[in-house]
Chain A
């Protein structure tokens, strides 16, 4: 069993809203998850990890939201590196993988996101093995930097995935739980007004 990326993004939108984000920020979450999975990167795991801690900081550290920080970068309201030797510290960010789609939009398109604190820096190179992604980028909190690279960090040619594989079933379940918070309990009034209501269908 697998999920379409469209329904994955729709689920991410509802889950982020259910976890308390504004609709506009929930749209950023959905766009980020879609972008990451198109490239075979585990965005839904990162979102699960972030939504679990976004309301309360279990680390006790004053870590940043990856979606707010990423949006400020892509909106153009936060400084970003413009020279090859610039290194911009973003500070401590939760689930930094979610920031990657925003960083990719920064002109000229070759800004790299790196995170310290997991032993070695974790660059998102295309040849990084899948396990590497699981190590800390998903649930952890890391000091992140931006640098100007010579090439794009995630090659556009990698954007060829069309499905969310079955291995993410438990993330789908967790996000479904968050999404559920956006649904209102049915009232008899609303039920009486839906399609097909109020007549026999044996006609």
Chain B
């Protein structure tokens, strides 16, 4: 929920009731979320633009084979950050997006402040090793990326020959580099979140990571243009800005990200509550002005064009995209019928959409409805954070009988699940020895149960209910936990999520029918990712910052507008 400052400021803002958590917190719906004004990439670029951040490249020491180091310095009103990028030469047989890889085309770290030669030297001994190296509290983010070899080679060849690259090639891939991990918040020695979370430029969530990826995107263009120059200094040209903007940064995301939503109930609550509050505010708008209606109509058409360009091999997602294209036809028709005289037009549109559209379409409509209302939506981004590090002290003095009532009420959605059936517990979340990453196994086929991670709140709630029902209701929770220490994790969780409307996913996270990429997509949509491309039920590729301005054009262009492709998408003449 919005914090107290927000609540005070928002007193005058009208708000419809929030959607029910029972509707919102379902995996199928969360797996249909789209980027919005509240997505972290957009929040970052709005802030950098508003505050006039200046980005330059103090070091570009890359040799003619493409190996070396470059630095990208971002200077804002109060702070400076520097991305240090190491470019490597990688044999094709070593190029792997797996988290178990040990070498990459490029490796990166985002540093706090300026960097000097000594720091670059220290980082050169560690950053290229990624998880096997160590960074320090002077660094905030550790990341790495691999080339799209096909597109990279094409762009080098074209630019070297003095031609712009082929637009269809650019569109079909969408990036020159894709990251395979972006680590922050204390990982591998980096500064803990507590060290920087109070800085205004990092208000919200994942802002250092988003800054790092945006700067990596600039590096990806610089390195391809450098390669073209090295290949043919006499004829090489730079990429045209409008073509360059079509390139984002790709990302392969797997199960490593999936437990995050379950392990951070306070944070997830803050994200979803901000989004739901934004929707409730827009639905409460009594009448829409012509400017808002026109903008909505235009962006609905541009979002539809985005959906038309969204191609995936995955059958389930391809089917959903087909349906989304139909949904956009309805959204465009409905938007064309909205007039300034309509009473509560957005609430009417949402209600009609809820009855008519697929989940993909409903959530696309939600994101679209935010667009004309920056003044109602954008400030909610500052509420999208939570202190998860604070260990929650269990109040063991509450009556066991009251805890049972709270469990029954908070987890009533488990009533329809028979956890004794094999399908309901078909999966096990565990961490693999191989690379210390979360994975999902088949409980009844592999000997994994002894390694199970506590990532199934529904089942654990049912187990605790069963034991609580047999315990003296007048006894205390503390006494119950002395007898049943195995429920201590669930007891703490109940006390945390009991105060949060949107902190718990109301679905079985270990059932045979659970689709892990729903968890990934929810989180990635809050990042601001587009072009979700499932490669199995457990991992997907996405694109970040496609269409967004580069540092040298941030002052002149509107990053919010560029999220949607222009309607005159036809290639401009060279």
Contact = CB atoms under 8 A, between A and B. Distances in A.
A195 B254 contact: yes
Contacts of B477: 75
Contacts of B256: 195
B111 to A, nearest CB: 15
Contact of B432 (A6, A35, A105, A184): A184
B255 interface: yes
A195 B95 contact: no
B422 interface: no
A27 B101 CA distance: 31
Given A185-B432, A196-B99, 5 more contacts: A4-B190, A184-B448, A194-B255, A197-B536, A198-B536
B168 to A, nearest CB: 16
B396 A4 contact: no
Contact of B478 (A77, A186, A199): A77
A34 B194 CA distance: 13
A1 to B, nearest CB: 5
Nearest to B486: A22
Given A75-B396, A199-B535, A24 B451 contact: no
Contact of A1 (B149, B189, B255): B189
A77 B433 contact: no
B97 interface: yes
- The interface centre, meaning the residue of B185, B190, B489 with most chain A CB atoms within 10 A of its CB, is B489
A53 B536 CA distance: 45
A5 B433 contact: no
Interface string B405-439: 00000000000000000000000001111101101
Interface stretch (B13-21, B227-235, B237-245, B386-394): B386-394
Given A6-B186, A183-B433, A185-B433, A193 B393 contact: no
B356 interface: no
Can you list the 3 inter-chain pairs with the closest CB atoms, starting with the nearest?
Answer: A24-B488, A195-B254, A75-B396
Contacts of B536: 193, 197-198
Max chain B C-beta neighbours (<10 A), residue from A74, A187, A189? A187
Given A24-B492, A77-B479, A196-B180, A186 B434 contact: yes
Contacts of A180: 433
B491 interface: yes
Interface string A169-203: 00000000000101111110111011111110111
B193 interface: yes
Contacts of B399: none
Interface residues of A, number: 48
Interface centre among A72, A194, A198 (most CB of B within 10 A): A194
Interface in B535-572: 535-536, 538-539
Interface of A: 1-7, 9, 22-25, 27-28, 30-31, 34-35, 68, 71-72, 74-77, 105, 162-163, 180, 182-187, 189-191, 193-199, 201-203
| Of listed A1, A25, A182, residue having the most chain B CB within 10 A | A182
Nearest to A76: B397
B164 to A, nearest CB: 22
B96 A196 contact: yes
B493 to A, nearest CB: 9
Nearest to B520: A195
Contacts of B253: 195
A191 B434 contact: yes
B319 interface: no
Contacts of B441: 184, 187, 189-190
Nearest to A74: B393
Contacts of B311: none
Contact of B95 (A24, A76, A163, A202): A202
A195 B539 contact: yes
A72 B192 contact: no
B148 interface: yes
B490 to A, nearest CB: 8
A195 B539 CA distance: 5
A201 B173 CA distance: 13
A163 to B, nearest CB: 6
B222 interface: no
A200 to B, nearest CB: 8
A23 B434 CA distance: 22
Given A76-B478, A184-B431, A6 B192 contact: yes
B189 A183 contact: no
B485 A4 contact: no
A184 B393 contact: no
A194 B479 contact: no
B136 interface: yes
A195 to B, nearest CB: 2
B258 to A, nearest CB: 10
B491 A24 contact: yes
25 contacts: A7-B186, A7-B188, A22-B486, A23-B488, A24-B490, A24-B492, A27-B492, A71-B481, A71-B488, A76-B395, A163-B137, A180-B433, A183-B430, A183-B436, A185-B432, A186-B433, A189-B441, A189-B442, A189-B446, A194-B538, A194-B539, A195-B98, A196-B99, A197-B536, A202-B150
Contacts of B393: 74-75, 105
Contacts of B486: 22, 24
A77 B95 contact: no
B454 interface: yes
Contacts of A77: 396-397, 476, 478-479, 482
A194 B482 contact: no
B482 A72 contact: yes
Contact of B431 (A25, A30, A105, A183): A183
B264 interface: no
A196 B445 CA distance: 23
Contacts of B574: none
A72 B536 CA distance: 46
Given A27-B489, A190-B441, A184 B433 contact: yes
B252 interface: yes
B427 to A, nearest CB: 11
Contacts of B185: 6
A92 B192 CA distance: 36
Nearest to A7: B186
B489 A23 contact: yes
B97 A195 contact: yes
A202 B100 CA distance: 16
A194 B99 contact: yes
Contacts of B476: 76-77
Contact of A190 (B95, B150, B439): B439
Contacts of B437: 194
A195 B446 CA distance: 20
B538 A195 contact: yes
